[in-house]
C-alpha cells in the first residue's frame, strides 16, 4: 500500500473559517516547510500568499494543487506571536487566515521580498565636502550643514522634518551619500541612573517607576495619572531600565499625530534608535520596522493600533498610552482591540504591561478595584503646574457667534493679550452639520444613509461649497438654489471646526488661527507641522478630539469647549463615559506649565449631573457612579457582549439571517440574553439595510460557548450567502 501523500495546511486571507491543503512546491517534502512560513499558492484564478499552519495526510480522492513558491527560507510567524494570533482568531471567532493577514504588514501580505532592516544614515561625500563652503544659502545648504558628521535618518527626522526630497536632490548631484550605520548597543548608551540624572521624579512618580521596575513576569499595571502628571516620564524610566536589561519595549499610542512628538522625546532620552510603526508610513517602511523587531534590531517600537502585532523575541516591557482611547479598537475587518491583545501578549511573553491614562476605561478601573491590575496613582501635576480652573458657562438665551458666546470671546481676547495660546474644541469637523433652506425647510441629506426617523444630514464643507456624508463618505457639490422651491435662501446651520475657524480668523486677525482636524492633517506629519507653525507665539487652535490626546502645549492657558450638549443625551450606554473622558482630556491641555489654565464648558444644560459631577468631583467620582449604574443594568464590565450585524440591499435577508442566529443561540443556551434582531441605530448606511443582534452573557466562558456552537453553522447557512455579516466580540460601539 503506497505511503500517504503529506500536504501543507495553509491559512489564506479569505472569510472562510478553514485551512486549505496544497502539495509542497517543486516536489519538496511537506515537513521541509516550517509552520509559520509564507507560501504563495494558486487560489481560484489568482495567486495569493498564505501562511503554513501544519502538515497532514492528503484526503483520498481529492485532486490537490501545488504551492507555487516559498518567499522566505524561514518562518516569519513563530513562537509566541503565532500562538497569540491563533488564540485571537479563536477569541474573535474569526478566520485564522484573515487574522494572520491582519498581523502582517501589507508588503509581506503581498509576498514581496523581505526588506533591508539595517540602520541607515547620510554624510557628505568628498565632492560635497569640497563644494559645501561655496554653496548658496537655502534649504540644500542648511541640510548639508547638518551633515558635519554622519547622521542617522532618525536624527534627521527630528532635526529637519521633510528632509528626504532635498537629500535625494543632493545625492543626485553627488554631494551626499547614504550609508549603513553601526547599530547602537542593545542596552543603549544610557543606564537608568543616567535617565534619573535628567529627570527627578516626585514621590508618586518614583513609586510608580519602582513598581514597574520591580515587576517580574506578567504584571498588568494601571498608571492612573491626572493630565500633566508626568506619565510619559515614568514610561521613559521604565523603558530605560528595560533596555539596560537587554530587552525590547513596545509603546502603543492612539493617534498618528502623537507619534512624531513621542519619537522625538524617546530618541532624545533613550539614546537608541526608536522605530515608528503607523499607517502614515509607506508599506516598505512598515515592513522594515516589523522585520527589524523580529530580528531584535528594533529595541524600542512606538506605534499605533497595528503595532501590537510586531514580533518581540526579546520582550521586556509593553506600554499602552491613553489606554481608554477608542481608536485602539478596529471597527471593520478583524475587530480586535489592541489594548486587550497587548495584555494577552504580555501574559504570553511573561512581561509587565503598563496601561496609562488620565481617564481609564471603566473596565480597567474595575479590574484595578478587583485586584487584577496593580493600581498606580499620580494625583498631582508634575513640577509647579496646577490643575486648570473649570467653569460651566450657561449659554441659554445668549447670542452666539459660530457657537461662541460673549464670555468665551472675551476670555479668548484676554488670554491672547496675556501672551497665551487658546484651544477651541468642537468635536465636529466641517463647516456646518446641515444645509437648510430658510424659505421651505428643505435640508440636504444623504441618499444612501438614514436614522430610524429621518434621513442623515450631509455635513457642509469648504465654506458651503461641498456636501459630505460622514457615515458613508458620499460627496456632492452644494446646490446653488433649493431643489424644492428654487429659493436662494440656503443657509448652513450649526457650527463645525471650519466655521469656527473662519469666525475666529475674522475676529482675531492679529494672531494665527489654526484648524486641527482630519481634513487639515491628512498628509504625513501634518499635525506636528501645524503645532510647529504655532510654536510659542500667541495664537488659537481650533480642533476636534485629535487635540485632546496627549499633546503637550506648554503655553496653552485657555480651553473653550463648544457643542457638548449632543453627547449628554445619547442612547449609547457608553456615551457618558466617552464624553467624560473627552472633556477631562481636553481640559487637561490647559495650564500644563508655569501659567495657570482655565477651561470654559459652554452648555444649554448647566445642571446636567454628568457635568456637575465632573466639575465638583472629578473623573473618578463619575466613574464610581457610572460603574454602579452599569452593574445594576447588566452592562460591561458586569456582562460580556457580542454584536452580530447583517446587511443587504433589502431588509428581509438580514432579518432571516439574524433570526436563524437567534434560534441557534437560544438552542445552545436558553439562559443567554438576546436583544433583537432589530434595526441598527443607523438602519441604512451606504445603501444597505442594517440589522443587528446583541448577545449578552454574565460570564465570558458562557458567551464563547454559545458562539463556538453558532458560528460554524452561520458560515455554512444558505442565509449567509445573501448578506454581508460580521461578529464583534466585546464591542465598544453598538452604533
Q: What is the pLDDT of residues 20-74, one digit of tens each?
A: 999 999 888 888 999 999 999 999 999 999 999 999 888 777 789 999 999 999 9
Percent over 70 (pLDDT), the chain: 94
Distances (CA, A) of 177 to 15, 144, 171, 356: 47, 11, 6, 42
Query: Using an 8 Å Cβ cutoff, are 691 and 647 in contact?
Result: yes
Q: What is the pLDDT of residue 286?
A: 93
Whole-angstrom distance, CA of residue 564 vs CA of residue 574: 15
Q: Does the pLDDT at position 117 exceed 90?
A: no
Q: What is the pLDDT of residue 27?
A: 82
The side-by-side arrangement of strands in the sheet containing 466-468 is 459-461, 466-468, 475-477
Q: Does the pLDDT at position 368 exceed 60?
A: yes
Q: What is the pLDDT of residue 190?
A: 43
Which comes out higher in pLDDT, residue 552 or 628? Answer: 628
Q: Does the pLDDT at position 451 exceed 90?
A: no
Q: What is the pLDDT of residue 187?
A: 39
Please report which confidence band the pLDDT of residue 658 belongs to, taking 50, 70 and 90 as the band edges: very high
35-39, 652-656, 716-720: range with lowest mean pLDDT: 716-720
Q: Does the pLDDT at position 593 exceed 80?
A: no
Question: Is 3.40.50.300 the CATH number for 389-429+496-631?
Answer: yes
Query: Using an 8 Å Cβ cutoff, are 478 and 464 in contact?
Result: yes
Question: Is 3.40.1440.60 the CATH number for 6-109?
Answer: yes
Cell numbers linked to 687: 445603501
What number is the average pLDDT over the span 114-123? 84
Which one, of 697, 639, 620, 700, lies nearest residue 365 by Cα?
Answer: 620
What number is the average pLDDT over the span 261-265? 77
Architecture in CATH of 192-378: 3-Layer(aba) Sandwich (3.40)
In DSSP terms, 641 is beta-bridged to: 696
Q: What is the pLDDT of residue 185?
A: 41
What number is the average pLDDT over the span 557-565? 90
In DSSP terms, 248 is beta-bridged to: 315
Distances (CA, A) of 504 to 119, 426, 586: 46, 13, 19
43-47, 118-122, 690-694: range with lowest mean pLDDT: 118-122
SS3 per residue for 12-76:
CCCCCCCCEEEECHHHCCHHHCCCCCEEEEEECCEEEEEEEEEEEECCCCCCCCECCECCCCCCC
Q: What is the DSSP string of 581-608?
A: HHHHHHHTTSS-SSS--EEEEEES-TT-
Q: What is the pLDDT of residue 189?
A: 38
Q: Is the peptide bond before 637 cis (omega within 30 degrees of 0)?
A: yes
Please report which confidence band the pLDDT of residue 454 belongs to, taking 50, 70 and 90 as the band edges: confident
Q: What is the pLDDT of residue 171?
A: 93
Which one, of 103, 118, 134, 126, lies nearest residue 180 by Cα?
Answer: 118
Q: What is the pLDDT of residue 1?
A: 40
Please report which confidence band the pLDDT of residue 193 belongs to, taking 50, 70 and 90 as the band edges: very low
Q: What is the pLDDT of residue 227?
A: 87
Q: Does the pLDDT at position 201 exceed 70?
A: yes
Q: Does the pLDDT at position 528 exceed 80?
A: no
Please report which confidence band the pLDDT of residue 373 belongs to, taking 50, 70 and 90 as the band edges: very high
Whole-angstrom distance, CA of residue 495 vs CA of residue 178: 49
pLDDT, the chain, mean: 89
Q: What is the pLDDT of residue 248?
A: 97
Q: What is the pLDDT of residue 22?
A: 96
What number is the average pLDDT over the span 568-575? 84
| pTM of the entire predicted model | 0.88
Which comes out higher in pLDDT, residue 595 or 132? Answer: 132
292-306, 482-496, 690-704: range with lowest mean pLDDT: 482-496
DSSP 568: G
What number is the average pLDDT over the span 350-357? 98
Which comes out higher in pLDDT, residue 470 or 9? Answer: 9
Q: What is the pLDDT of residue 191?
A: 43
Whole-angstrom distance, CA of residue 604 vs CA of residue 625: 23
Please report which confidence band the pLDDT of residue 159 belongs to, taking 50, 70 and 90 as the band edges: confident
Q: Does the pLDDT at position 184 exceed 60?
A: no
Please report which confidence band the pLDDT of residue 119 belongs to, taking 50, 70 and 90 as the band edges: confident
Please report which confidence band the pLDDT of residue 305 belongs to, taking 50, 70 and 90 as the band edges: very high
Which comes out higher in pLDDT, residue 191 or 367? Answer: 367
Please report which confidence band the pLDDT of residue 98 belongs to, taking 50, 70 and 90 as the band edges: very high
Q: Does the pLDDT at position 621 exceed 90?
A: yes
CATH among 3.30.465.10, 3.30.70.360, 3.20.20.210, 3.40.50.2000 for 640-729: 3.30.70.360
Please report which confidence band the pLDDT of residue 636 belongs to, taking 50, 70 and 90 as the band edges: very high
Amino acid at each position: 500500500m503506497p505511503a500517504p501523500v503529506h500536504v501543507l495546511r495553509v491559512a489564506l486571507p479569505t472569510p472562510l473559517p478553514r485551512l486549505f491543503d496544497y502539495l509542497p512546491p517543486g516536489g519538496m517534502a511537506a515537513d521541509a516547510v516550517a509552520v509559520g512560513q509564507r507560501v504563495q499558492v494558486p487560489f481560484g484564478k489568482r495567486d495569493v500568499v498564505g501562511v503554513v499552519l501544519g502538515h497532514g495526510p492528503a484526503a483520498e480522492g481529492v485532486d490537490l494543487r501545488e504551492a507555487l513558491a516559498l518567499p522566505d527560507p524561514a518562518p516569519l510567524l513563530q513562537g509566541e506571536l503565532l500562538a497569540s494570533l491563533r488564540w485571537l482568531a479563536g477569541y474573535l471567532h474569526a478566520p485564522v487566515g484573515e487574522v494572520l493577514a491582519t498581523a502582517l504588514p501589507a508588503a509581506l501580505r503581498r509576498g514581496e521580498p523581505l526588506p533591508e532592516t539595517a540602520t541607515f544614515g547620510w554624510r557628505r561625500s568628498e565632492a560635497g565636502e569640497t563644494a559645501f563652503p561655496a554653496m548658496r544659502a537655502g534649504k540644500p545648504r542648511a541640510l548639508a550643514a547638518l551633515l558635519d558628521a554622519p547622521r542617522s535618518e532618525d536624527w534627521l527626522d527630528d532635526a529637519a522634518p521633510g528632509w528626504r526630497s532635498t537629500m535625494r536632490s543632493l545625492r543626485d548631484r553627488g554631494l551626499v551619500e547614504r550609508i549603513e550605520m553601526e547599530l547602537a548597543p542593545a542596552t543603549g548608551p544610557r543606564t537608568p541612573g543616567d535617565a534619573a540624572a535628567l529627570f527627578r521624579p516626585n514621590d508618586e512618580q518614583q513609586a510608580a517607576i519602582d513598581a514597574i521596575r520591580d515587576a517580574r513576569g506578567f504584571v498588568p499595571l494601571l498608571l492612573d495619572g491626572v493630565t500633566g502628571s508626568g506619565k510619559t516620564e515614568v514610561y521613559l524610566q521604565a523603558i530605560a531600565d528595560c533596555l539596560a536589561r537587554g530587552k525590547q519595549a513596545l509603546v502603543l499610542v492612539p493617534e498618528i499625530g502623537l507619534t512624531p512628538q513621542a519619537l522625538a522625546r524617546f530618541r532624545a532620552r533613550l539614546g537608541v534608535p526608536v522605530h515608528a510603526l503607523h499607517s502614515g508610513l509607506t508599506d516598505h517602511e512598515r515592513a522594515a520596522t516589523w522585520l527589524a523587531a523580529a530580528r531584535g534590531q528594533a529595541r524600542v517600537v512606538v506605534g499605533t493600533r497595528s503595532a501590537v502585532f510586531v514580533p518581540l523575541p526579546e520582550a521586556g516591557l509593553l506600554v499602552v498610552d491613553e489606554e481608554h482611547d477608542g481608536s485602539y479598537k478596529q471597527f471593520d475587518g478583524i475587530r480586535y482591540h489592541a489594548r486587550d491583545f497587548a495584555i494577552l501578549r504580555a501574559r504570553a511573553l511573561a512581561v509587565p504591561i503598563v496601561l496609562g491614562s488620565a481617564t481609564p476605561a471603566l473596565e480597567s478601573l474595575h479590574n484595578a478595584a478587583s485586584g487584577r491590575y496593580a493600581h498606580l496613582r499620580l494625583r498631582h501635576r508634575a513640577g509647579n503646574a496646577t490643575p486648570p480652573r473649570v467653569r460651566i458657562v450657561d449659554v441659554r438665551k445668549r447670542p452666539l457667534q459660530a457657537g461662541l458666546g460673549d464670555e468665551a470671546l472675551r476670555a479668548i481676547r484676554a488670554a491672547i493679550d496675556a501672551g497665551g495660546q487658546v484651544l477651541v474644541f468642537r468635536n465636529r469637523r466641517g463647516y456646518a452639520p446641515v444645509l437648510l433652506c430658510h424659505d421651505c425647510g428643505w435640508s440636504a441629506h444623504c441618499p444612501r444613509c438614514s436614522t430610524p426617523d429621518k434621513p442623515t444630514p450631509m455635513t457642509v464643507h469648504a465654506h458651503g461649497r461641498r456636501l459630505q456624508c460622514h457615515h458613508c463618505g458620499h460627496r456632492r457639490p452644494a446646490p446653488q438654489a433649493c431643489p424644492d422651491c428654487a429659493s436662494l435662501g440656503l443657509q448652513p446651520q450649526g457650527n463645525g471646526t471650519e466655521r469656527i475657524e473662519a469666525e475666529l480668523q475674522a475676529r482675531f486677525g492679529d494672531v494665527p488661527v489654526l484648524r486641527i482636524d482630519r481634513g487639515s492633517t491628512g498628509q504625513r506629519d501634518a499635525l506636528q507641522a501645524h503645532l510647529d507653525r504655532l510654536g510659542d507665539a500667541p495664537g488659537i487652535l481650533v480642533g476636534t478630539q485629535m487635540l485632546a490626546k496627549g499633546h503637550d502645549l506648554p503655553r496653552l492657558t485657555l480651553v473653550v469647549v463648544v457643542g457638548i450638549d449632543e453627547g449628554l443625551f445619547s442612547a449609547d450606554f457608553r456615551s457618558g463615559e466617552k464624553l467624560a473622558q473627552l472633556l477631562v482630556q481636553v481640559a487637561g491641555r490647559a495650564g500644563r506649565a508655569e501659567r495657570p489654565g482655565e477651561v470654559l464648558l459652554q452648555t444649554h444644560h448647566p445642571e446636567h449631573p454628568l457635568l456637575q459631577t465632573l466639575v465638583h468631583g472629578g473623573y473618578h467620582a463619575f466613574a464610581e457612579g457610572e460603574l454602579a449604574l452599569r452593574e445594576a443594568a447588566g452592562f460591561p464590565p458586569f456582562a460580556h457582549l457580542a454584536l452580530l450585524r447583517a446587511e443587504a440591499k433589502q431588509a428581509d435577508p438580514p432579518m432571516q439571517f439574524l433570526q436563524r442566529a437567534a434560534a441557534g443561540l437560544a438552542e445552545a443556551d436558553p439562559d443567554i440574553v438576546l436583544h433583537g434582531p432589530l434595526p441598527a441605530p443607523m438602519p441604512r448606511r451606504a445603501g444597505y439595510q442594517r440589522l443587528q443582534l446583541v448577545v449578552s452573557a454574565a460570564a465570558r466562558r458562557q458567551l464563547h460557548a454559545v458562539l463556538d456552537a453558532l458560528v460554524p453553522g452561520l458560515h455554512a447557512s444558505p442565509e449567509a450567502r445573501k448578506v454581508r455579516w460580521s461578529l464583534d466580540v466585546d464591542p465598544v460601539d453598538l452604533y
